[in-house]
Amino acid sequence: MPLGRVSEFATLTAGEREALGALITDTLEYRRRSPIRYEGAPVQHVYLLAKGWVASSMTLKTGARQFFKVHIPGDILGAPSLASVSAVETLTAITDCTIKCIPLSRLGSIFAEYPRVGMSLFISANKERIALMDLLAAVGRLSAIERLARFLIDLHDRLLVVGQTEVSRLPMPMTQEEIADLLGLTAVHVNRMLHELENQSLLHRRGKDFILNLPELQAMNPIASRAYVQEPSWLPPSRG
């Protein structure tokens, strides 16, 4: 069971991992492009993404869709909706995927019985906040090609951490329309920027993969790199 977002700040003990596994009630499979949960639905679970990619999006009253997160294995899905009486996002499978369901009725026990795990989840939630800050800065202040370069680097680095790719290779199952929804661009503009990156030898397409010129792409990204805490001393002691 991938626990990337839960265990990235502190090494979990066998007992803590077992306790997390015990929260799961169901394992569900979804086909590519299938809805997992709609915006406005009752909030009864959070989900652990075990395999595949999932998008979080919201729909405006005009019918326009806005992507705001691409999830990869190890991510927790649906956590923002814990603060709302109904789901604030639609979760959609970008690829065939496997998710593990954690009922809210069980979630509270992990905070009470394993506070170190609960604090790790709290840190992870704040890392998500930083990611959304960076996305807002990118959409508000970066040029189209800078936004795209930053997105490719960020996704590559996240996949690399959880062992889902190799250095410089970025699998890309997303459509240009989906990338455009995330970056606040049009699909035509994304297509043009991808060609521009290729013309500058910053990106090479190999089948469904992008091969990235990471040093040059990183030089295009005006947003500062982030260094995250590891095993912070203020975490509660482990149990089991």
List per-residue pLDDT tens for the chain, 240 residues long: 566 677 888 888 989 989 888 999 999 999 999 999 999 999 999 999 999 999 999 999 999 889 999 999 999 999 999 999 999 999 999 999 999 999 998 988 888 899 998 898 899 999 999 999 999 999 999 999 999 999 999 999 999 988 999 999 999 999 999 999 999 999 999 999 999 999 999 999 999 999 999 999 999 999 998 899 989 999 988 876
CA atoms within 13 A on the CB side of 219: 6
Cβ–Cβ < 8 Å for 90, 58:
yes
* CA neighbor of 149 nearest in space, from 92, 220, 93: 220
- Rounded CA separation 166/43 (Å): 36
| Burial of residue 171, with CB atoms counted within 10 A of its CB: 0-12 exposed, 13-18 middle, 19 or more buried | middle
Distances (CA, A) of 229 to 60, 127, 198: 36, 10, 35
Type of residue at 173: P
Q: What pTM, to 2 d.p., does this model score? A: 0.93
